[in-house]
Amino acid sequence: MTRLMKGNVGKPPIDMDIPNNQFTWRRWFEDLYKVLGPINNIQGVSIPVFTGLTTTGNPIITAEYYRFGFFLGLSIYISANGGSTASVAGTTYCDLPFPALAEGFCVANDVNTKINIGSGFIQKDPGGIYTPSWSASSNDISISGFYLVEQ
């Protein structure tokens, strides 16, 4: 049980290394993993397979995930790599690193402009991360989300 003390109100529970006040979910997952340690927790990388993602050139798509018991946080990075990508909400999706126990959510951000693109949906059955729409862009895209998994 966590008790809040008057002196630490507003202080984050984790001492996060945030250069230039640039918060990212990936950094939050990494710091949480450092605090909780590897016991019953899993950290890994994957290459998600997208369906319906329009691409030109050779974009590089990578993902990192952090699993803490029933909770899984993931961060997908799409580097346009000199090309472009485009997504259509409801039809563009990628596979999950672990099967979902329940639905979840994700958000996408334009890394270059630092603008939120919108929110997406993590579906339990048949399972997939559905992204929000974005028009053809040569900017890098970051997608972060949370969902529940079986332990």
Q: Could you report the per-residue pLDDT of 33-68, keeping only the tens digit for each?
A: 777 666 667 888 999 999 999 999 999 999 999 888
- Domain spans of the chain? 22-148
Tell me, what's the pLDDT at 39?
62
Tell me, what's the pLDDT at 34?
74
Tell me, what's the pLDDT at 12?
42
Residues 6+ apart with CB under 8 A from 96: 122, 127, 128, 129, 147
| Token pair for 38 | 């590897």
pTM attached to this predicted model: 0.77
Contact criterion met (CB below 8 Å) for 149 and 123: no
| Token pair for 37 | 């340690």
CA 139 to chain centre: 17
CA angle 27/101/148 to nearest 5° reads: 20
Taking the C-alpha atoms of residue 65 and residue 145, their distance in angstroms, rounded to an integer, is: 10
Residues 6+ apart with CB under 8 A from 46: 62, 63, 64, 65, 97
What's the average model confidence in pLDDT over 111-119? Answer: 95
Domain 22-148 annotated CATH 1.10.357: no
Above 50 in pLDDT, residue 137?
yes
Tell me, what's the pLDDT at 140?
97
Q: Which residue has the higher pLDDT, 85 or 149?
A: 85
pLDDT averaged over every residue in the chain = 83
